Copies of this chain bind each other. A is one copy, B any other.
């Protein structure tokens, strides 16, 4: 048992060292990097499609997207961005720094202001692995129910911002907003929560402005 624990610690240590290298490289290039984490179907890819479309011409964007199988997400986003890399993890339940390191070699970093890393659809395992990002963003949707922050506290606690998607479906699903918010604030009193509907476009401006501010701060930090 202790041997197993040692191995897991080694895996995390090696991961974190590589993530640190990635973070330094991205800092040098002033690339604001977002690690987007949420359950399958919460709307991560749809959010990035809209984000790529809305920010086109204002900022230079790149995306890495992790999935067990298929290149469907990359294909969807390639319509809005010429720097999209699909990472297939096989049976792997999360992205690791090694995936990001390899995928970076396929991106022209000289023309990137914001790098999005769409993690594998999973609210648990991705939280533990540093990818060298500036921020983790935890994403929920109202159709998942109001109990998800309490049941998945680690992603809430580690998020620099959170998203609550599919607000257009609120009339049709049981969702007690006060329960959701109470658990979110108990676990993370500071991070902004963006309530939005990716498919309808409602509420997306605050998210886009937050991204622009993040990129501006990153650019200034190195100026």
Interface residues of A (CB under 8 A from B): 3-4, 7, 10-11, 39-41, 67-70, 72, 91, 93, 120-125, 128, 141, 143-145, 147-148, 150-154, 166, 168-169, 172-174, 199
Contact = CB atoms under 8 A, between A and B. Distances in A.
A40 B151 contact: yes
Given A7-B7, A39-B41, A169-B169, A128 B67 contact: no
Contacts of A120: 124
Contacts of A144: 40-41
A70 B153 CA distance: 10
Nearest to A183: B70
B153 A69 contact: yes
B93 A93 contact: yes
Nearest to A150: B70
Given A7-B4, A199-B174, A93 B70 contact: no
Nearest to A199: B174
Contacts of A151: 40, 67-70, 72, 121
A150 B73 CA distance: 11
Nearest to A174: B199
